[in-house]
């Protein structure tokens, strides 16, 4: 998170009390410093609000969360250091840490699952503080899922993804495609499980979609439906049904019936040139390549 910061002067206490304003060089009330000297003094109390970045690192379950903050260094010679402020409500900081002139600091032992808000101030050598920087916020919840990629055939299927997070951390699950459906566990708190289903792909092309589970993405890839040719033929003395060349979808099945004519019997049925014996029917299951079936008959 990158923010642009502006310079804000810190008022001099004497200004607020007397209401005195600088009237130019050499003109000042008795006992006061000159206008030029006063301007220098005010300039010395002006600090640029530091630029604040938040880099978050967390433990899981048994480890408390921690946040590493980094900000831009001020160039003013009268810089005394920095203070980091943080709390559990925006703009309302319960704790502050004087980190000296460091430009990075790790706040440790934060509660898991709690959103913390951070801001910083620069201060001068005489302890005058700048205004707050812009605010950085971070939730102490971390999320992990048991799988990030899954593949399915064109026939579809179902799956389960486990979500791991801290107690009290809420999450949701959503799909980016109509053929990829969340069937249970669309929302949860703490660790849990999400179940999903993949519809049959009737198209010839493969397809890919994502499910967002607790801020993590599961990518599902499904193959397209391919077609393969089965060629069926019969010799003299009988028939095979269906006969001829036909297309069948990948992973589908096709059954053929062999019938001898009167005075004939089945001698053998050849599947891709290999005899399966004198069978009267044969089923190709889960077809993934082209196939042939041939029936041979003999006179009784």
What per-residue confidence (pLDDT) applies to 148? 94
DSSP secondary structure string, the chain?
Answer: ------EEEPPPHHHHHH-----STT---TTSPPHHHHHHHHHHTEEEPPPEEEEEE---TTS-EEEEEEEPPP--TTEEEEEEEEESBTTB-SEEEEEET-SEEEEEEEPTT-EEEEEEEEEETT--B-PPPPPEEEE----EES-SEEEE-TT-EEEEEEEE--TT-EEEEEESSTTEEEEE-SEEESSEEEEEEE----SSS-EEEEEEETTEEEEEEEPPPPEEEEEEEE-TTEEEES-EEEEEETT--EEEEEEEPTTEEEEEEEETTEE--S-SEEEE-S--S-EEEEEEEEE-
* Omega before residue 242 within 30° of 0, cis: yes
Burial of 27 (0-12, 13-18, 19+ CB in 10 A): exposed
Q: What is the pLDDT of residue 226?
A: 83
What pLDDT sits at residue 20? 34
- Give pLDDT, residue 188: 93
Rounded-to-integer distance, Cα 220 and Cα 252, Å? 22
pLDDT at 221: 97
Distance CA 55, CA 69 (A): 6
Residue 28, judged by CB atoms within 10 A of its CB (0-12, 13-18, 19+), counts as middle
The contacts of residue 162 (CB under 8 Å, 6+ apart) are: 145, 146, 191, 192, 193, 194
The predicted pLDDT at position 293 comes to 98
Decide if pLDDT at 53 tops 50.
no
Strand partners, 262: none
| CATH number of this structure's domain 145-222, picked from the four choices 1.20.120.430, 1.25.40.420, 2.60.40.10, 2.40.50.140 | 2.60.40.10
CA-wise closest residue to 214 among 164, 147, 148, 178: 164
- pLDDT computed for residue 214 by the predictor: 87
User: What pLDDT was estimated at residue 202?
Assistant: 85
What are the pLDDT digits (tens) for 265-278? 999 999 999 999 99
Query: How many other CB atoms are found less than 10 A from the CB of residue 267?
Result: 17
Q: Is the pLDDT reported for residue 11 higher than 50?
A: no
pLDDT at 22: 38
pLDDT of res. 39: 41
Better-scored residue on pLDDT, 56 or 77 = 77
Mean pLDDT value of segment 21-28: 36
Phi-psi region of 66 (alpha: psi -120 to 50; beta: other; left: phi over 0): beta
Identify the pLDDT of residue 51. Answer: 42
pLDDT mean over 209-237: 93
Instruction: Pick the more confident residue, 221 or 10.
Output: 221
Least confident among 128-132, 175-179, 216-220, 232-236: 128-132
Contact 7, 48 (CB under 8 A): yes
Q: 272 with 233: CB under 8 angstroms?
A: no
pLDDT of 92 reads: 94
Nearest CA to 115 out of 67, 72, 148 is that of 67
Express each pLDDT in 144-180 by its tens digit.
999 999 999 888 999 999 999 988 888 999 999 999 9
CB atoms within 10 A of CB 133: 24
Top-confidence residue, 239 or 35: 239
Q: Which CATH architecture has domain 7-139?
A: Sandwich (2.60)
For residue range 100-155, list pLDDT tens digits in order. 999 899 998 888 778 899 999 999 999 999 989 888 888 778 889 999 999 998 88
Higher pLDDT, 66 or 117: 117
Whole-number average pLDDT of the chain: 81
Token pair of 61 as six digits: 């379950």
């Amino acid at each position: 998170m990158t923010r642009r910061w502006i310079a804000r002067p810190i008022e001099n206490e004497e200004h607020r009390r007397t209401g005195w304003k600088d009237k130019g060089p050499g003109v000042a009330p008795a006992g006061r410093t000159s206008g030029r000297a006063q301007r220098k003094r005010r300039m010395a109390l002006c600090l640029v609000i530091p630029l604040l970045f938040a880099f978050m690192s967390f433990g899981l379950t048994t480890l408390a969360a921690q946040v590493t903050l980094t900000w831009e260094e001020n160039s003013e010679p009268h810089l005394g250091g920095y203070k980091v402020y943080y709390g559990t409500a925006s703009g309302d900081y319960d704790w502050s840490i004087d980190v000296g002139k460091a430009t990075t600091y790790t706040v440790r032992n934060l509660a898991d699952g709690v959103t913390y808000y951070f801001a910083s101030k620069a201060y001068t050598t005489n302890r005058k503080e700048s205004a707050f920087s812009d605010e950085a916020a971070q939730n102490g919840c971390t999320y992990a899922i048991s799988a990030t990629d899954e593949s399915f055939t064109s026939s579809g299927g179902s799956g389960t993804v486990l979500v791991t997070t801290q107690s009290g951390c809420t999450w949701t699950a959503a799909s980016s495609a109509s053929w990829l459906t969340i069937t249970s566990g669309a929302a949860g708190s703490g660790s849990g499980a999400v179940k999903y289903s993949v519809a049959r792909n009737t198209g010839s092309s493969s397809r890919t979609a994502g499910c967002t589970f607790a801020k993590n993405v599961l990518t599902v890839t499904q193959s397209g439906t391919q077609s393969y040719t089965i060629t069926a033929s019969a010799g003299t003395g009988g028939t095979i049904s269906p006969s001829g060349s036909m297309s069948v979808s990948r992973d589908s099945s096709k059954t053929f019936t062999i019938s001898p004519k009167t005075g004939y019997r089945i001698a053998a049925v050849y599947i891709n040139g290999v005899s399966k014996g004198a069978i009267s029917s044969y089923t190709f299951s889960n077809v993934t390549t082209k196939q042939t079936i041939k029936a041979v008959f003999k006179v009784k």
